[in-house]
């Protein structure tokens, strides 16, 4: 009888986990297809600026830096997610309200005349509206990761599924930039955004059953939550590690201009490079999904970072577009474990009731470091016609090496367990009273 009970519980847990994966799989897919900072929109706007509006490398980098302003302050949207309960539906309420608003902004860009100012204003508007959707998505996946002790597996799912829009956008963007008018691109993304709103009507039992009533979801008022966030020691190394990991001076605009202007490759080569690069992460993402259940996060952080430090060095040896495509494979493989481990760490580091705030802080740091690194990389690239790109690769490698000492600052109890093992440090700092738990 006892064995039958155990088998029944295990079967229910497995079914619940599967339903959780399905829900977040679809949600992740549409969130990242529709994100204005994703490859489909970002590469298309960069080609519009470069080829149709004749912008320079520095102007393209500056455009990316400015349009990312709502993302740099993304923690504000995350805090609003943690404190606000729109329509009484919590995260689903954000999907139902702000996904349609984002789609409207994209449709507005589709019917507007193409200009630098118009593109700038339009991108700022879609960035602003989409931050609320992103805050609800990221806060929810972090909360479930903590409550169900599956931060590593959800990090794997997050990274694998979010790679699909990157891959498709990278391989399709070269063709789209040459054959599809800008308004069609923006209309396509607007339609994809509406699917997020449709998912707001879905309420799977395994995800939403008493989710907002558990200790990990408890919060206080605005000032109380801000104080708890600032006192939560685990957030600082996690945020700094994410900042350094995405600060790659040679990975975006300098590489794009090096391939097309220096090596005389077509615009499509840069897109294909990004596609192969993204595909090559997936095997090591999946490996992480297996290892995270067997090894503590501590070991995966060290191993992943050591492997990732020399990730960009092969770029220093490219002398043709075809070689760049070939080297994209090992470059991508070297970054998978580290990327998944850093997202796992971010989920574990969220204080109770502040999952949206910290995850959006991480998103903001990712965007700011990417744009800042890209702007610095463009300056380094322009500083030397002969060796500028080599200097960018060296700078990126040095930045990655700085992650290693930061791992020592992560609270040891937070990363001492494998995925699925009980850990009191995960979702810590839960208040004794609740002011913002809310209900579905």
Q: Convert 246-308 into a string of H (helix), E (strand) and C (coil).
A: HCCCCCCHHHHHHHHHHCCCCHHHHHHHHHHHHHHHHHHHHHHHHHCCCCCHHHHHHHHHHHH
Least confident of 315-319, 372-376, 388-392, 435-439: 435-439
Q: What is the CATH number of the domain that holds 182?
A: 1.20.1250.20
Res 435 pLDDT > 70: no
Work out whether the CA dihedral 169, 270, 364, 416 comes out positive or negative: positive
Mean pLDDT over residues 411-433, rounded? 81
- Number of domains composing the chain: 1
What pLDDT does 8 receive?
40
What pLDDT does 118 receive?
85
Least confident of 85-94, 96-105, 211-220: 211-220
Res 1 pLDDT > 60: no
Res 127 pLDDT > 60: yes
Least confident of 142-151, 169-178, 221-230: 169-178
CA angle 116, 383, 389 (to 5 degrees): 90
The angle, 0 to 180 degrees and rounded to 10, between the axes of the packed helices 182-199 and 2-34 is 150
Please report whether residue 150 resides in a domain: yes
Cα(125)–Cα(147) distance, integer angstroms:
34
Sort residue 356 into left (φ over 0), alpha (ψ -120 to 50) or beta: alpha
Other Cβ atoms less than 10 A from the Cβ of 263: the count is: 16
Mean pLDDT of the chain: 86
What pLDDT does 174 receive?
63
Cα(294)–Cα(292) distance, integer angstroms:
5
Please report whether residue 439 resides in a domain: no
Mean pLDDT over residues 380-406, rounded? 89
What band does 434 get if pLDDT is binned at 50, 70 and 90?
Answer: very low
What pLDDT does 349 receive?
95
What pLDDT does 217 receive?
83
Res 342 pLDDT > 90: yes
Number of H helices, E strands in the chain: 20, 0
Mean pLDDT over residues 124-137, rounded? 94
Please report whether residue 261 resides in a domain: yes
Cα(349)–Cα(359) distance, integer angstroms:
9
Cα(373)–Cα(97) distance, integer angstroms:
33
Please report whether residue 426 resides in a domain: no
Structural domain that includes position 56: 19-202+214-415
What pLDDT does 439 receive?
40
What pLDDT does 6 receive?
37
pTM: 0.86
- Please check whether residue 216 is in contact with residue 142, taking contact to mean a CB–CB distance below 8 angstroms: no
What band does 9 get if pLDDT is binned at 50, 70 and 90?
Answer: very low
What band does 428 get if pLDDT is binned at 50, 70 and 90?
Answer: low
Count CA within 13 A, CB hemisphere, residue 304.
Answer: 30
Strongest mean pLDDT among 60-69, 104-113, 340-349: 340-349
What pLDDT does 389 receive?
86
Mean pLDDT over residues 44-60, rounded? 78
Cα(282)–Cα(340) distance, integer angstroms:
10
Please report whether residue 13 resides in a domain: no
Mean pLDDT over residues 85-103, rounded? 95
Res 440 pLDDT > 80: no
Res 432 pLDDT > 70: no
Please report whether residue 337 resides in a domain: yes
- Please check whether residue 164 is in contact with residue 34, taking contact to mean a CB–CB distance below 8 angstroms: no
What band does 185 get if pLDDT is binned at 50, 70 and 90?
Answer: confident
Please report whether residue 424 resides in a domain: no
What pLDDT does 13 receive?
58
Mean pLDDT over residues 137-144, rounded? 96
Please report whether residue 91 resides in a domain: yes
């Amino acid at each position: 009888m006892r064995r039958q009970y155990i088998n029944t519980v295990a079967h229910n847990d497995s079914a619940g986990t599967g339903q959780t994966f399905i829900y977040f799989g679809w949600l992740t897919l549409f969130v990242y297809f529709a994100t204005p900072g994703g490859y489909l929109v970002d590469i298309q706007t960069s080609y519009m600026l470069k080829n149709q509006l004749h912008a320079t490398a520095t102007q393209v980098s500056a455009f990316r830096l400015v349009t990312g302003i709502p993302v740099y302050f993304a923690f504000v949207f995350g805090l609003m997610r943690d404190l606000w309960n729109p329509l009484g539906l919590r995260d689903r309420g954000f999907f139902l309200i702000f996904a349609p608003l984002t789609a409207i902004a994209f449709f507005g860009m589709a019917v507007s005349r193409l200009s630098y100012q118009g593109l700038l204003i339009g991108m700022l508007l879609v960035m602003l509206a989409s931050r609320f959707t992103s805050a609800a998505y990221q806060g929810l996946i972090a909360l479930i990761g903590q409550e169900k002790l599956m931060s590593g597996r959800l990090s794997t799912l997050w990274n694998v599924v979010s790679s699909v829009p990157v891959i498709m956008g990278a391989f399709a963007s070269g063709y789209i930039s040459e054959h599809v008018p800008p308004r069609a691109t923006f209309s396509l993304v607007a339609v994809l955004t509406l699917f997020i709103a449709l998912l707001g009507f879905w309420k799977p039992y395994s995800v939403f059953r008493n989710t907002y009533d558990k200790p990990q979801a408890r919060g206080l008022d605005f000032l109380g939550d801000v104080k708890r966030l600032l006192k939560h020691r685990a957030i600082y190394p996690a945020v700094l590690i994410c900042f350094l990991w995405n600060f790659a001076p040679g990975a975006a605009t300098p590489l794009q201009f090096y391939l097309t202007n220096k090596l005389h490759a077509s615009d499509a080569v840069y897109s294909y490079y990004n596609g192969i690069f993204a595909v090559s992460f997936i095997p090591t993402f999946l490996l992480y999904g297996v290892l995270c259940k067997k090894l503590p996060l501590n070991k995966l952080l060290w191993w992943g970072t050591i492997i990732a430090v020399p990730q960009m060095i092969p770029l220093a040896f490219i002398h043709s577009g075809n070689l760049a495509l070939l080297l994209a494979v090992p470059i991508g493989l070297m970054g998978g474990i580290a990327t998944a481990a850093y997202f796992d760490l971010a989920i574990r580091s969220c204080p109770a009731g502040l999952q949206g705030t910290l995850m959006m802080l991480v998103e903001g740091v990712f965007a700011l470091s990417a744009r800042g690194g890209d702007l610095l990389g463009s300056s380094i690239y322009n500083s030397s016609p002969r060796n500028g790109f080599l200097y960018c690769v060296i700078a990126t490698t040095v930045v990655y090496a700085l992650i290693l000492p930061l791992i020592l600052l992560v609270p040891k109890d937070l990363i001492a367990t494998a995925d699925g093992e009980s850990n009191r440090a995960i979702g810590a700092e839960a208040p004794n009273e609740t002011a913002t738990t809310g209900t579905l």
